[in-house]
Structure 1
Amino acid sequence: MKSHILGFPRIGSQRELKFALEAYWRKTCTETELQQQAAAIRLRNWTLQKKAGLDYVSVGDFSLYDHVLDMSVVLGAVPARFRSSGKFTLNTYFDMARGNAEAGIAAMEMTKWFDTNYHYIVPEIEPDMTFHYSSDILLQETTDALQAGFNPKPTMVGPLTYLALAKAQKGVNKWDVLESIVEVYGELLEELSEHADCIQLDEPIFCTDLPDEIRDRAEQVYAQLRDRAKHSRLLLGTYFGGLKENLELTARLPVDILHIDLVRAPEQLDAVLEKWPRHKMLSLGLIDGRNIWKSDFSTLLKTVEKAKQKRETDQLWIGTSCSLLHAPVSLEAENALPPELKDWMAFAVEKCTEVKTIAQIAQGFHEEQRLAENVASIKNRRTSLLAVDPAVRNRTEQADAGMCRRNRPFAERKKCQQQQLNLPPLPTTTIGSFPQTREIRKIRKAFREGLCDEKTYTRAMQQEIHSVIQEQEQAGLDVLVHGEPERNDMVEYFGQQLNGFCFSQYGWVQSYGSRCVKPPIIYGDISRSGPMTVDWITYAQSQTDKPMKGMLTGPVTILCWSFVRDDLPRKTVCRQIALAIRDEVQDLEKAGIGIIQIDEAALREGLPIRKDEQADYLNWAIESFRLATSGVSDKTQIHTHMCYSEFNAILHAIAEMDADVISIEASRSDMELLQAFEQFDYPNDIGPGVWDIHSPRVPTVAEICGLIQKALKVIPKEQLWINPDCGLKTRGWTETRQALKNMVNAAQAIRNTL
């Protein structure tokens, strides 16, 4: 019974990759030094997997930025705008991901990887694009692992998922290039098969509603790949859901091993055992790759026993549900966690051990002590009173539909709000955060570690807020923000002030590139002890006569960007968070703040990948947002923000949120979002982003004017706001000042034409 994982975190236990990347981008680290750090992380990852006793180490799961972008490079799918210099270099790779400010080259689009908070670089299929085997990095890493004494299992995004996620440019039918892409995959598999006895092709697209192009051609594609992978078994990795109606198609594919996600879709096991060919192997994804809770061995062993009734032991593999990319690296150094809570958890290293332990016990090896320890830990968690607050549960049950509705419809509210705010046409604002400088991080760290007192810290934050307000006034923005210097992260900041949360010290997870987040851990019932933002926002408002936005994170985003308890339904946890945020919204209104933004950046991310499961999610997610935001008067303007996801299909649900103003990512996709507004009459105000803040490149006034003019073709001028795509936390002040100035000047230029 083989034990394996689908992938390991690539950032390093202390975020070594992040710091090496950022040093390289600052030109304080050479390419050689960066590659040396990358090699050291890979070696450490392989060593950890082998030490856990896994039969394979995962190779190809490492990336300097994104594994989908890596596949584009392997295929030679480099858009023309990045090929002007002729030779492909590491800098070309980073230009594709981040853009090139000096050369005026826009980055490739970035969006969420299925329903996770990981962002991938969207492949572009251009007219006349030719595909050829262009990078042997996966082969090199495989041979490196072999030479170092490991048994490698190369892994890559499968061709059908890759092309399904790609975007066609200029009228191209992207499926026309499938044959060319499969040929390159074939070359790669042929080379890898000389060095690895198993190759993993990730096809999570099989857990979605398949397009006809895949349904019609999948068997042919995999027949070609099977022929080329001469000496290797092919493992088809499916995850993030169940195969459902795609099971019969999957069962016909000429692959040797099928991996299924039994965390997200445990109910699929019976059907898979019945329909997956009996002579082929089956990999059971039992260990949750997307959460941090210790596995219940007793329950999982029952699942394995069910599988053993239909399969020989050596036909079964034990693995994680998906890649451990979505989990922190190791629990070992987490000494600040309360011991009782820490005992309930498992990070990536511990999950590798869990995989091996389940495989050992299932084969009759004597692991009585580990099993007994696991049983005791699971029992302790189930019976602990740490997770239960009767007052919170009672309040959640008592919340009714009337608490989820504003007093009057939007059109009437807007009149009240405009009388109070007196905003010009096309009002300008930002999303919330401003650059987090080294000085800000330094004083925040000093306060956190007790090296400065609260008075000193407060004074420093107020000075920063005052400075940010001056910057915004000089830029000419209409609605200001306080810049959020006191916040380390938009979810962690609130979690630290809410009951029911705990926090790791080193539980970092990659979001994209060098951007890492440290998700809060929701272990218990959630409530607010007192105001969380009121003092900072009221101070900011006292420094300006212009309207100041209160800035909060919404309940769905706090839920999606946390590691959530798995002993309550997610919608119940979300409702608890909504009530806590509702209290804060009402306190801000009482303090005289007339505009309050409650960000729901993750609303689309939480959407199930199956259409038949989406309505239920949207119902409780939208209801939670409205529960958080509907306790204010008509004159209080509620904003929300969403970023980096495909929103077109759920605009009707976004409208149901009934936010007075929504800001949404749009510039990186060149306002592609606006196509949806041609068919859908969005009722409230909206600010499609006009500046891609995830690239260091500063857009020109002309570019921003062009985006505004595109927006005005489908959005009435009375409903249109002008803003960046997202917060400015990761940007530097030089580019921020210029981009904001350009944005305001563009808005004024368009106003003059109205």
Structure 2
Amino acid sequence: MTVTVATLGFPRIGPRRELKFALEKFWAGKTTQAELLDTAMGLRTAAWARQKALGADWLPSNDFSLYDHVLDTSVMLGAVPQRYGAGEVGLETYFAMARGTTGSDEGCGHAHANPQGSVTAGELTKWFDTNYHYIVPEIEPGQSLQLGTLKIVEEYREAKALGYETRPVLLGPVTWLSLAKGHGIDPFDRLDEVLGLYGEVLDRLAYSGAAWVQIDEPILVTDLSGVQRAALSRAYAALSGHGVKLMLTTYFGGLDDNLPLVATLPVAGLHVDLVRAPQQLDAVLRIVPEDLLLSLGVIDGRNVWRADLAALLDRLEPVAATRDIVIAPSCSLLHVPVDLASETRLDTQVCEWLAFGVQKVAELATLAKALNQGRDSVAEDLAASSRAAQARRSSPRIHDATVQARIAAITPQMREREAAYADRARAQAEVLGLPLFPTTTIGSFPQTAQVRHARAEHTRGNLDDAAYERFLREETERAIRWQEEVGLDVLVHGEFERNDMVQYFGEQLSGFAFTASAWVQSYGSRCVRPPILYGDVSRPAPMTVEWWRYAQSLTDKPVKGMLTGPVTILNWSFVRDDQPRSASCLQIALAIRDEVLDLEAAGCKAIQIDEAALREGLPLRAGEGQAYLDWAVDSFRLCAAGVADATQVHTHMCYSEFNEILPAIAAMDADVISIETARSQMELLEAFARYRYPSEIGPGVYDIHSARVPGEAEMVELMRLAQQHLAPEQLWVNPDCGLKTRGWEEVKPAIAAMVTAARTLRSEVAAGSARAVVEGATA
């Protein structure tokens, strides 16, 4: 029996974020398309070479993307909405779908176009329960699907020409259709058309020499409808006869009740996630046909902890003794940093506990060698792995008695506001004195080249603390003065001192470690460095109070205190796996509660606690969701509920489907929630209206993930749509998200238009009220 090693996908961004910088230079017009594509090819080549050298037997191709693999699939199928025009799908169209357009494109004539001809990007939302964002596929009535690109074939041939035999990666048709948005149609009505195109792609891959194709169907770890089940059977009956072997790949959970269906599908191989769902192995071995090649996801593709190789061998040796197997990460390594060797300043002890993408492939190679040649062949590696696992379990740095005592002292009253929302709203109105349709932003302002340069110089020691603080104060004052000038109602300080909305807080909390270059792709060129939560969490000192106090001293208008919520800090970190996530979240909530109370004591009247990632952490199975929502909402309430009635608590959520969790959102008991709705044309508000959501809502009118600048008329129209669902008294006017990734040249006209739009809306409501009074008197 033979054990081989596969990788399901490798980080695309490059060891030093080469893809990010290449994309942003291209978008800025500083490089050519040829130069961008040359950089992309270099990254692919280096990734293949590295994985091969590390010991991978099965290399992926088509795991690379210039922006998003779901968008790549949409373009492959020709699912290009009419607003982007007809014709060949080149990079201009591709990036228009990803980011929108800013020019005066002619002949657009679509509801998503503004009067100047710019076009909105496709909807952006989270990839299952990760922090990776994908562009939602769109299928329009009457649209004829046809092969748009053959990127998957071209990249397979590219690898082959370089001497690498690869297994092309293809997003499965049922997952793609499940993620797709049908404009008045059911995407599954197009199943046969989609399958025909998939068949063509497989034929071309077979003709090019591909023996296997990895076809990803993560939808198989969710609760499937009857339509999805039927589609899976039809899809794989249709796709199994195209000259290539299919490795049906599942991840992010267990197959559970979908396993009997999967066992009947005519595929040659099956990959299962044994990190998220280790319990499924016995059922898989029992039910899956013996002639099916099993790929076992035994190394965590979503977290950074070094594996206990000896413990894994205990599980794998009995399986490897009876059949050929492939061992692999649980999912694509897209979700972890590239290489731990790049970290030169990370805490030495913590570093010994970690494995990034490169190290994970090496771990797999060690396991395969042990399984093929015996444990003695890798005795030194196994001993080092066991020492690291034992050191992490027994480290005194992980457990803090003071934190545990505070957790034990939590009472139910600590999670409850004193008054109901209606009473709080009256108290807040008296204190804040805001107009109808109050305007605000979500928190951050542009992190310009000057801001980033000053931060880098301070980090390197070339700019002393006093000079750096003086620079940040000047940036903050400019931001406050501009907000006053443009006429915003509730201001923010701009967050120029913050590198990232999670990292900034983690750096000031105990129990976190931070990296210098452990970047992970969030979407497109946007990369983040998740903190590493390794121990108990507490707040040694106030984190934001002095910056808020300084900003508020510059203006008579209210300035929001800006915090990141406990659930988002948890979900956007690499989290310790030695205790339940709920326990770690509760610790973070107590630390944020301390900050909330200190802000209020300093005089802050509006405090925003962002929970952008609350929906992201929802388990993929409906039966598991309530337990998560219970502790997630409990954590938010713990950090927010200690303030007085007159203190307005805001929260922010973005780029997620909220419909099924509205009771939980309402249970958070925030006074104001801001959400992303610009790309979806306010569709989310239908659910809030049906639920009779009681509090105030700021539906986004400015899509900050696109470079396009919306005009006043567009924003007014969006808010008119909002008023079809919610009363004017409930509505705020704000962007979709923070503005740190945009430039001031975009932000200033967009926010000015937003403020003007709010004034127009107030005039319309006032005119309507006056008309109603006259009509009532006449009657």
TM-score by length of 1: 0.98
Q: What is the alpha-carbon distance in structure 1 between the residues aligned to residue 450 and residue 740 of structure 2?
A: 13
Please give the alpha-carbon distance, in whole angstroms, between the structure 2 residues aligned to 1:2 and 1:297. 16
Corresponding residue number in structure 1 for 2:340? 331
Contact 1:555 1:600 in 2 (8 A): yes
- The separation in 1 between residues aligned to 2:443 and 2:667, in whole angstroms, is 23
Alignment check: 8 A CA contact 2:172 2:215 kept: yes
Tell me the equivalent position of 1:189: 202
Maintained 8 Å contact 1:693/1:731: yes
Q: Deviations 1:510-564 (Å, cap 9, x if unpaired)?
A: 0000000010101111111101001100100000100100000000000000110
Does the CA contact (< 8 Å) of 2:78 and 2:145 recur in 1?
yes
SS for the counterpart of 2:129 is: coil
Q: 2:89, 2:148 within 8 Å by CA — same for their partners in 1?
A: no
- 1:233 paired residue number: 245
Aligned position for 2:372: 363
Match of 1:69 in 2: 71
Q: For 1:645 and 1:688, locate their aligned partners in 2 and report how far apart those are by CA, in whole Å.
A: 13
SS in 1 for 2:542: coil
- Cα deviation, 1:659-692, whole Å, max 9, x if unaligned, reads 0100011111111101203321101111111111
Shift of 1:306: 4.2
User: 1:602 & 1:539 partners in 2: Cα distance?
Assistant: 29
**Residue 115 of structure 2 corresponds to which residue in structure 1?**
none
How far apart in 1 are the matches of 2:685 and 2:56?
48
Name structure 2 gaps, 5 residues minimum.
106-117, 766-779
The answer for the alignment partner of 1:58 in structure 2 is 60
After the TM superposition, which residues 24-423 of structure 1 pair with which residues of structure 2 at under 5 Å, given as runs? 24-84=26-86, 86-102=87-103, 103=105, 104-169=118-183, 171-194=184-207, 195-228=209-242, 230=243, 232-308=244-320, 311-312=322-323, 314=324, 316-365=325-374, 366-423=377-434
Q: Distance in 2 between matches of 1:154 and 1:540?
A: 53
User: Given residue 148 of structure 2, which amino acid in structure 1 is its aligned partner?
Assistant: S
Give me the whole-angstrom Cα distance separating, in 1, the residues matched to 2:26 and 2:669: 44
What amino acid does structure 2 have at the position aligned with 1:393? Answer: Q
- 2 CA distance for matches of 1:306 and 1:724? 56
Q: CA deviation at 1:127?
A: 1.0
Distance 2:592 2:281 in 1: 39
User: Does the 8 Å contact 2:75/2:89 carry over to 1?
Assistant: no
Distance (whole Å) between structure 2 residues aligned to residue 394 and residue 20 of structure 1:
50
The equivalent residue for 1:9 is: 11
| C-alpha distance in 1 between matches for 2:292 and 2:40 | 36
After superposing the two structures, state which structure 1 stretch, 422-431 or 212-221, moved more.
Answer: 212-221
Q: For 2:369 and 2:691, how far apart are their aligned partners in 1?
A: 56
Instruction: Give the secondary structure class of the aligned counterpart of 1:511.
Output: strand
* Aligned residue identity for 1:363: N
- Is this contact kept in 2: 1:56–1:150, CA < 8 A? no
Alignment pair present for 1:494 and 2:505:
yes
Matched, 1:721 2:721: no
Between the aligned partners of 1:677 and 1:512, the Cα distance in structure 2 is 27
Tell me what 2:776 maps to: none
Hey, what's the Cα distance between the residues in 2 that align with 1:744 and 1:723?
A: 9
In 2, Cα distance between equivalents of 1:485 and 1:345: 31
How many angstroms apart in 2 are the aligned matches of 1:400 and 1:656?
18
Kindly provide the CA deviation profile for residues 316-358 of structure 1, in whole angstroms up to 9, marking residues without a partner as x. 1101100000000000121111221111000000001111211
List 4+ stretches of structure 1 deviating above 4 A.
none
Provide the C-alpha distance between the structure 1 equivalents of 2:320 and 2:8, rounded to a whole number of angstroms. 22
The residue identity in structure 2 corresponding to 1:355 is L
In the alignment, the residues of structure 1 paired with residue 382 and residue 312 of structure 2 have an alpha-carbon distance, to the nearest angstrom, of 12
The equivalent of 2:692 in structure 1 is 681
What amino acid is the match of 1:245?
D
CA distance, structure 1, for counterparts of residue 646 and residue 75 of structure 2: 52
Q: Identify the match of residue 447 of structure 2 among 436, 443, 464.
A: 436
Amino acid at match of 2:39: Q
Q: How far apart are residue 381 of structure 1 and its match?
A: 1.2
Tell me the distance in 2 between the aligned counterparts of 1:411 and 1:134: 54
Q: CA deviation at 1:144?
A: 1.4
Q: How many residues align?
A: 747
Question: Residue 457 of structure 1: CA displacement?
Answer: 1.1
Partner of 2:775: none
Secondary structure (helix, strand or coil) at the match of 1:363 reads helix
**Which of 510, 522, 546 is 1:511 aligned to?**
522
RMSD over aligned CA atoms reads: 1.0
- Match of residue 531 from structure 1: 542
For residues 696-731 of structure 1, what are the alpha-carbon distances to aligned partners after superposition, in whole Å with 9 as ceiling and x for unaligned? Answer: 111121111111111112111211111110001111
Amino acid at match of 2:34: T
Aligned equivalents of 1:678 and 1:684: distance in 2? 11
Residue type of the partner of 2:396?
Answer: L
Question: Match for residue 111 of structure 2?
Answer: none
Which residue of structure 2 lines up, in the alignment, with residue 622 of structure 1?
633
- The answer to whether the 8 A contact 1:55-1:151 is kept is no
| Corresponding residue of 2:114 | none
SS of residue in 2 equivalent to 1:498: coil
CA distance in 2, matches of 1:223, 1:45: 33
Q: SS where residue 615 of structure 2 aligns?
A: coil
Q: Secondary structure at the match of 1:527?
A: coil
Give 2:660's match in structure 1, choosing from 646, 649, 656: 649
**Distance between the aligned counterparts of 1:641 and 1:29, measured in 2?**
36
Alignment pair present for 1:541 and 2:556: no
Cα distance per residue 1:384-442 (max 9 Å; x no partner): 11212111122112212221111111111111111111111111100000111111111
CA distance in 2, matches of 1:298, 1:404: 44
Indicate if the aligned counterparts of 2:437 and 2:762 stay in contact, CA closer than 8 A: yes
- Counterpart of 1:598 in 2: which secondary structure? strand
How do residues 603-752 of structure 1 correspond to structure 2 at under 5 angstroms? 603-752=614-763
Query: What is the identity, as a one-letter code, of the residue corresponding to 1:14?
Result: R
Deviation of 1:308 after TM superposition, in Å, equals 3.8
Give the Å deviation of 1:503: 0.8
Gapped regions of structure 1 (runs ≥ 5)? none
Q: Which moved more, 1:648-657 or 1:147-156?
A: 147-156
Residue 670 of structure 1 aligns to which amino acid in structure 2? Q
TM-score (norm 2): 0.95
- The aligned runs of 1:509-588 (5 Å cut-off) are 509-588=520-599
Partner Cα separation in structure 1 for residue 133 and residue 267 of structure 2: 29
Deviation at 1:302, TM superposition (A): 2.1
Q: Distance in 1 between matches of 2:764 and 2:147?
A: 51
Give distance in 2, aligned partners of 1:632 and 1:470.
29
Larger mean Cα displacement after TM superposition, 265-274 or 480-489: 265-274
